[in-house]
Amino acid sequence: MYVLRRIVLAGLVVLLATANGWTLAYPRNNGIKWEEVQREALELFIQYLKLDTTNPPGNEIRAARFFAEICQREGIEHKVFEPFPGRGTLWARLKGDGSQRPLILLNHTDVVPHSKEYWSVEAFSGAQKDGFIYGRGAQDMKSVGMAQFVTMLTLKRARIPLKRDIIFLATADEEAGGQLGAGWFVKTHPELLGNAEFLFNEGGNNITDQYGHVLAVGVGPAEKTPAWLRLTATGEPGHASVPRPDSAVNRLLRALNRLLEYTPPIKLTPAVEQAFRSLAPLMPAARSGKFQNLREALKDPEFARQFDLDPMARALVRNTISITMLQGSTKINVIPPVAVAEVDTRLVPGEKLERWIAELRGVLGDDSIKIEPVLAFEANDSPIDSDLVKTVAKVTKQRYPEAIITHPVLAGFTDSHFFRDLGVMSYGFSPFVAPPRELGGGFHGNDERIGQKAYVEGVRFFYEIVEQLAR
């Protein structure tokens, strides 16, 4: 019986392969050979890491074509876009039966520059060393992108019946704000998103103890968003030998001084409160109660003082201000007509840009200084009781029974806001779960790498989640 079944299955595999020209195929609904899938996931990942998609200049078309070629071979519907030279974005779709709205698997294909002299391997060689896979993008985010892609591939080959479309979207330019990638795509091709319900993107944060026990799996429903502002002061120009107290530079400096002195008040929006609440079970008893109800806890001046000493905690509970760029005269003896400062401010989820600018105008105390947004997005968040979050929790429970689900708020930002603006519930999630020494590191830094075991296990974890959510 056993042997017979094996032969029948093998026959089916061959039939599927010949009929569709697939390189690999599985009998309907089962028979996924995980060892093979994971081996292929590793090979594809290494090939992907070899593509230099450093932004600037980007050249993400290399990644778009790489994915397109595989889609072509596998019979997966797809389109390549190159709206700006070299800046490619790939869209691919597996059709569901339409009874539920689509799920988007979003990933960016660009990577940040690297400093060759600090790397022990070539950054685009896909080197394997001591159980790690090295390469710029190994963490951010070619590993996640490939886990998403292999998930789509496996669903297709296993012919899993889907209730919802699975849309794989590999975009350019995220590391520079995403306007030439995801931002361009949502503006020009919203129809290809099919009124999607959910989206997985980078972000999230998983926590293990030093022995490798998984304590928490993070599903990030929110992130802080940038409100990058340009402040422009103007004044009478002249020769510097005759000082002008109200020159553009002097007025700008006085206003910036007031800005430096200013600490934005704590703004506990619901997304931020629940982020801390979800972490409470992992805290020592004394802190746990405080995190359960941060709003109450922060009324205690001693707790508030200590809380504020942690730069990350501090940044998560308020809008932040970093003065980063200054420009006055180009000549030492010339009082310029214009002085400019660019200020990186960040908004907590739920904040409104206009309200924040009005607050800053009051702080600057000089109405003649012009405030213009350079890059700014509304700070939206997604619910934590959605089917997507419940599905992650369910699959996590099977895999890591001890782990809790947390809902971290990212201090940085990703492309998710473009989709949240359209009403797509979007979440930061990493399927790679391992203690730091096995997970790798080098996010935007040197010797970026990911543990091979963490990677291949993550591919399967991610597949299980998506299958549950879409089947």
* Interacting residues with Zn ion (CB under 5 A): 140-141, 202
Minimum distance of Zn ion from residue 223's CB (angstroms):
12
Q: Report which of 113, 180, 100, 179 is spatially closest to residue 140, judged by C-alpha positions.
A: 113
Minimum distance of Zn ion from residue 176's CB (angstroms):
11
Q: In 309-383, where does DSSP find H-type helix?
A: 311-316, 353-364
- Cβ-closest position to Zn ion: 140
Q: Is 278 helix (H, G, I), strand (E, B) or coil?
A: helix
Q: Is 197 helix (H, G, I), strand (E, B) or coil?
A: coil
446-460 burial code (b ≥16 CB/10 A, e <16) = bbbbbbbebbbbbbb
Q: Which is nearer to Zn ion, 49 or 404 (CB)?
A: 49
Minimum distance of Zn ion from residue 222's CB (angstroms):
16
Q: Is 365 left (phi over 0), alpha (psi -120 to 50) or beta?
A: left
Burial tier of 397 (Cβ tally within 10 Å: 0-12, 13-18, 19+): middle
Minimum distance of Zn ion from residue 111's CB (angstroms):
8
> Which residue matches tokens 């949240």?
420
Q: Which is nearer to Zn ion, 140 or 173 (CB)?
A: 140
Q: Which is nearer to Zn ion, 126 or 137 (CB)?
A: 137
Minimum distance of Zn ion from residue 110's CB (angstroms):
9
**Cα separation, 257 vs 235, whole angstroms:** 18
8 A C-beta contact, residue 198 and residue 407: no
8 A C-beta contact, residue 371 and residue 358: no
Who's near 68: CB < 8 A, 6+ residues apart? 78, 80, 90
Q: Which is nearer to Zn ion, 264 or 428 (CB)?
A: 428
Minimum distance of Zn ion from residue 136's CB (angstroms):
12
8 A C-beta contact, residue 340 and residue 235: no
8 A C-beta contact, residue 173 and residue 61: no
Minimum distance of Zn ion from residue 177's CB (angstroms):
12
Minimum distance of Zn ion from residue 334's CB (angstroms):
42
CA 277 to chain centre: 22
Minimum distance of Zn ion from residue 201's CB (angstroms):
9
Q: Which is nearer to Zn ion, 156 or 417 (CB)?
A: 417
Q: Which is nearer to Zn ion, 364 or 410 (CB)?
A: 410
DSSP secondary-structure letter at 111? B
Q: Which is nearer to Zn ion, 235 or 458 (CB)?
A: 458
Q: Which is nearer to Zn ion, 110 or 351 (CB)?
A: 110
Q: Which is nearer to Zn ion, 143 or 151 (CB)?
A: 143
**Cα separation, 227 vs 433, whole angstroms:** 32
Q: At residue 385, what are phi and psi to the nearest 5 degrees? A: -115, 25
